[in-house]
């Protein structure tokens, strides 16, 4: 079942955030520190109070979160050069490593898409590391295409 996250889900989401960080640390050890996480349990609780954050969980039969999607509302104002729009930015989407390849990610993404459509968003956006080939392949399978490319040159 997919539902909006609740405060009781914060410890589990926090544990899943550690899994995500380890994937990022393996892909980009020059940018991410193993053993850390993006949001603490307290940070997850703050996200649940943020009116610009939408956090969904998929739960198993015991109501334990097996995956989540953390999304933020981005309102881009119309200006002389930029067309105004509403974007739903997926800040993080995670499936428990024990549940991967079982459809949880696809269901979460489909839920985010339906939410975005039902709430008048123009786009869903996200960032993914090019070296994270599994995530990149997943998002391409979900129909996402590259909007822009950020290039880097490392100074050693």
**Nearest Cα residue to 137 out of 89, 101, 112:** 101
Higher pLDDT, residue 98 or 52: 52
Q: Identify the band that residue 101 occupies on the pLDDT scale cut at 50, 70 and 90.
A: confident
Query: What are the structural domains of the chain?
Result: 2-141 (3.40.630.30)
pTM, to two decimals = 0.91
Integer Rg of the chain from CA: 16
pLDDT in tens, 26-78: 999 999 999 999 999 999 999 999 999 999 999 999 999 999 999 999 999 99
φ, ψ (nearest 5 deg) of residue 97 = -60, -25
Average pLDDT, the chain: 94
Helix (H) or strand (E) holding 107: helix 104-118
**Structure-block tokens of residue 45:** 């609780």
């Amino acid at each position: 079942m997919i539902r909006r996250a609740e405060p009781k889900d914060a410890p589990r989401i926090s544990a899943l955030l550690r899994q995500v960080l380890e994937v990022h640390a393996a892909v980009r050890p020059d940018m991410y520190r193993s053993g850390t996480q993006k949001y603490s349990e307290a940070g997850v609780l703050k996200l649940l109070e943020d009116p610009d954050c939408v956090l969904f969980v998929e739960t198993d039969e015991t109501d334990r979160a097996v995956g989540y999607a953390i999304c933020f509302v981005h309102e881009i104002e119309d200006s002389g050069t930029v067309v105004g729009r509403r974007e739903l930015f997926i800040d993080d989407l995670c499936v428990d490593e024990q549940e991967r390849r079982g459809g949880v990610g696809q269901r979460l993404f489909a839920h985010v898409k339906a939410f975005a459509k039902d709430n008048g968003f123009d786009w869903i956006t996200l960032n993914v590391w090019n070296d994270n080939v599994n995530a990149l392949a997943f998002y391409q399978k979900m129909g996402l295409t590259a909007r822009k490319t950020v290039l880097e040159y490392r100074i050693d």
